[in-house]
A and B are shown apart, each in its own frame.
Chain A
């Protein structure tokens, strides 16, 4: 081999080697910088050097231009109201511009947010779920403590625990609450002379009559498996009514679904609905389910009221036909609604512009922010901001929820009271709802699933 070729070979391998080493080095140093804030709290160099300058600029020169970034999910409704919020906020604070970025929904979105946080690349402000999903984000390491912000006075008290960790509040509510219960078609009810059930037995009696009349009694949309969990989850009001300490005992591994009759009842109720669903319920999607409800092709649809904006958008002329009631319990005098809390707005701990970010979060959680949102997005229930009234054109189906709130007959869903929620619940409820697994066996299986989650979170007692 001649000298030049040998030289070339050596040179090229050296170049390749250094390139690789540089790549590795870059990767590892990245990791260090992201893990250091988590290890040493707020002592990260970037945070400490950035925050004084930002706060100084905010106090002495308020006109300095600041650019914030906001991360929201790509749900159409979220995108629309986020844009409205950002536009209104920028009009109020001309020196702050906000750039919005979207992410996927569901578990891909969860992993997206976790990755952003762990690589130190998070947006200044982000909208994310409250409750158990928020607990999984390591709030103490990743989010700014908003406990002592004055705007917390505007937030309803029942929301605060869902964005708290170790006694500190990390978020503010974005949007409205929603109820978990049963949508029903009023035309079918009127046609068959049925009345809104107050007990589970009455509900099943209605189902029987509807089926006898040749109408699909219940809409199942098990192609989107998450929709199958509703009956079990929406039964939490009834669980809490009988067992006020269930959430705490459940988190502490002292109560189980399989061995607590009140909790097991949710699975039993689901089992009792077998046979009332549309024939193709295993292949029906959530969107198709909503369409069936609006068009009167099914009488009942157990669902969250977060479906209301989609219903209004796709079937504005059918809204008067649709009503809503809470999932009844076994006794008529314990009738109440299981409520899902809205998501939260959180501030990334290492943001370079904490003051501006707080201003934005404050705006989101103000009556002013809520009224901006309510113009572009129909609320799915009362807002979590004090004094924020529902707009006049709110669909009747949402107003159906108000009596439960007015009479204090609500309970938050279990996932807002406990960080523990097993990921396989939707597969298990598909099996129960399609008659392949009995309620008792399903509850036992779910308890095993929950154990995994609790261990992952490092809870004590598991």
Chain B
């Protein structure tokens, strides 16, 4: 009796958090699963079964969307891992202005994504933009960064990396600083070079930081929307559409059920990729 009471009593402490979690996360999730099976306006709804999913998968730009989403996520993720690691090593080395440089690298993270998008799309204007004007002075005819269908997605990805690399760097700085000094002392005694230090100590032992950066930036890349919308709106045509922008266009068109179905698909898609990825990465982590 007292044992049962004790258990209930301890559960009471979980109750507030559980209620908040249920109301704010579980209920909307379940509701969106339900509404994805309906055709709803803000005024009423009709149950139509799986028709929304059928229509969504027939969306002509969807295959471009899935491909672009994966390319975008992979490119930004890879660039953030490599760039973040290099910057992290650089900013933990014995340079004088490292505090100042750290804030410079972190600064873009703090700026509004929409503002960054608008600013860069002006700089990437093919005739009057900063980039191509500068290239013209060097005698090079710059490309149409956002108008060329082959280049547009990569241009946006580059801006995403510029904006997001500060966070990856900070994570790496924390990871690198957590590596005990003894390892590099041992390396020095053995006469290792700084390349050995980087490759045999820093890279393997900042593995937890790498995993965090990979997971965070990959999820961010799969769900990315705001920067793409601010810079290209999925265009020209459908060339830079990602799943999230396709969903937003359905919502804009007033197809709320279809947009909800798209979100459910995106949710499952991200989960199906990230869950195994994160399981795999954490299993291979090593203790310091």
Contact = CB atoms under 8 A, between A and B. Distances in A.
Interface stretch (A10-18, A205-213, A357-365, A407-415): A10-18
A337 B258 CA distance: 36
A225 B233 contact: yes
Interface in B8-28: 12-13, 15-16, 19-20, 23
A39 to B, nearest CB: 9
A13 B253 CA distance: 43
B126 A283 contact: yes
Contacts of B234: 427
B42 A114 contact: yes
B55 interface: yes
Nearest to B9: A6
B125 A222 contact: no
Nearest to A23: B23
Interface stretch (A300-308, A395-403, A430-438): A430-438
- Centre residue among B15, B55, B60, B144 by max chain A CB count within 10 A: B60
B41 interface: yes
Nearest to B60: A445
A446 to B, nearest CB: 10
Given A434-B237, A456-B39, A283 B144 contact: yes
Contact of B41 (A138, A225, A280): A138
A427 B16 contact: no
Contact of A24 (B12, B23, B41, B253): B23
B255 interface: yes
B112 interface: no
Contacts, number: 114
A117 B42 contact: yes
B interface, over-half SS: loop
Contacts of A431: 236-238
B181 interface: no
Interface in A445-460: 445, 448-449, 452-453, 455-456, 458
Contacts of B237: 427-428, 430-431, 434, 436-437
Contacts of B20: 20
A424 B234 CA distance: 11
Given A423-B249, A448-B58, A141 B147 contact: no
Nearest to B237: A431
Nearest to B146: A283
A22 interface: no
A13 B15 contact: yes
A280 B127 contact: yes
A283 B147 contact: yes
B238 A283 contact: no
B44 interface: yes
Contact of B55 (A10, A118, A452): A452
A279 interface: yes
Interface string B30-59: 000000000101111010000000010010
B252 interface: yes
Interface in B227-254: 233-238, 249, 251-254
Contacts of A105: none
Contacts of A35: 43-44
A118 B42 CA distance: 6
Interface in A100-134: 107, 110-111, 114-115, 117-118
Interface in B205-236: 233-236
A42 B228 CA distance: 45
Interface of B: 12-13, 15-16, 19-20, 23, 39, 41-44, 46, 55, 58, 60-61, 121, 124-129, 144, 146-147, 149, 233-238, 249, 251-255, 258
27 contacts: A16-B16, A17-B15, A17-B16, A20-B19, A35-B43, A38-B44, A107-B252, A114-B42, A115-B42, A117-B42, A118-B43, A136-B41, A280-B126, A280-B127, A280-B128, A282-B235, A283-B144, A422-B253, A427-B234, A428-B237, A431-B236, A431-B237, A431-B238, A434-B237, A436-B236, A437-B237, A458-B39
Given A13-B15, A283-B144, 6 more contacts: A24-B23, A283-B147, A431-B238, A437-B237, A452-B255, A452-B258
